[in-house]
Structure 1
Amino acid sequence: MAVAGAVVFIGHDGKVKVERGLIWREDMRKAASNGNDGAGAGVANGEAIKQKPVHSERLTRMLTAHRTAAIQASMANRADVALAAMVSQLAERLLADYRSRSRVVVQINMGRPNLKNDAQNIDQSRAVAVIEDKFTLWTSRVEAVVGSDMSSFDWLLQQPQEDVLALCVSVSINTVTSREDSPTVEVSGLMSALSLDMADWWEPTADTYLSHVGKDRIIGIVADAVSPQIAHTLTKLKKEELIKVAEEHLSGLRWLPDNLKKVTT
């Protein structure tokens, strides 16, 4: 607290607000480098010093892109969850104080997130195949109406509204992040509502995971998911051979990294 300060501002209700206990990033770095120096020690032993992430930023974004595709594919058949997700975002934008708003997961706009920017192998995902089939079907239907004398609004009134709603909301989902942690409360909420288990949509192959992490990480995963004895036999293998053998051992075991697991409370 010796280096902390406060920010005073006007809230949406027109009243003065104060955010206390804030620290400049530069001061946090100084405190971390002087960990035994008075008040700085508490900061150095707390948030300022972090362990090295298990996954690189690039791999984390790739993993969460696959998570996004799985949520999209699951939601495309769940109009109830899609409606709740959309309405929650509308309600928060209009009714909640901006500081209490959750991280935006449902991007209510006219575009779709391009998951291939973060996961070049996303086209191989079964989830993408599911969502693309639905998207292509409805795109062809809407385009046919646009070229006719009937308005798209009149035509949509005659369609099963829940199917169109679920599809449009599902493809707006974007949970891609570079943060190395478990899913946020918002993402976990969607996964729980959809009964989504990422092991149904993703597994650790050379392309999706194993070639992007080090040998120690692969051996550690085999030790946890298979057995320490088998993992020990892999220690002297070269990286290429290790990846191949580990992929065979892990196949069908439904192992997931933490940022693809659903958080249970």
Structure 2
Amino acid sequence: MNQIKHIVAVASGKGGVGKSTTAVNLALALRADGAEVGLLDADIYGPSQQRMLGLAEGTRPEQADGERLLPVLAHGLKTMSMGYLAGERTPMVWRGPMAGSALAQMLEQTAWGELDYLIIDMPPGTGDIQLTLSQKATVAGAVIVTTPQDIALLDARKGIEMFRKVDVPILGIIENMAVHVCSQCGHSEHVFGAEGGRRVAADYGVPLLASLPLALSIREQTDAGRPTVVSHPDSPEAAAYIGAARAIAATLAAQADGGGVQQFPNISISDD
């Protein structure tokens, strides 16, 4: 863990907003710029990174020294996921403390080596996994993923407030499914509302890192195990992910230059 320079959580208040797709593309974008990058799938109950990275079912990590696991390499990323440790059809019927323990083991007992960034694909919500991460690691910042829909924005705000309570900086917001462009006639339509991510970013004084379209290609590429940044690096969608990754890297570099090493947070929960 001491060999990891920056730990970045990619989170959302609710599921179905494209958080995992965002996490893998951000990791690949940082890797494309020459960084050493790890990707931890912390969604214990619904891991998806194994499929998104194009790894076959049954892929298992090797052991380094009888105690630690070697990360699985995919598209130049060092990765770890509960999907490697259980079958695709095996449900994790666990209570919260067990899920938190599984996260801690994957985080601490993986031989990550030297990394510039460890991207953590968080589960949706504000529960045990988020608190465990805040206790076990020094998180450099969090990226909040949302759609423009009002219901999604409500949950995104809860995610922002949760990270603020545990003293994790918000690096910015990424808005998915912002606009749909008809492939037949070119008509643009804001299916889930307009400018929602920008409004939340303005309310909290954080940058809107990217606004991604509701595009069939993004879904097809991740389902095929070749996310947008590696399959179509010259596309407008890949450019959006790369721009977001570079903005995150610049913020973290400035944070390291100006603030030194972040200390472990003291967690306090209140009703306000």
TM over 0.5: no
TM-score between both structures, scaled by the size of structure 1: 0.25
TM-score between both structures, scaled by the size of structure 2: 0.24
Flag the structure with more relative contact order, 1 or 2, with Cα contacts below 8 A and sequence separation at least 6.
2
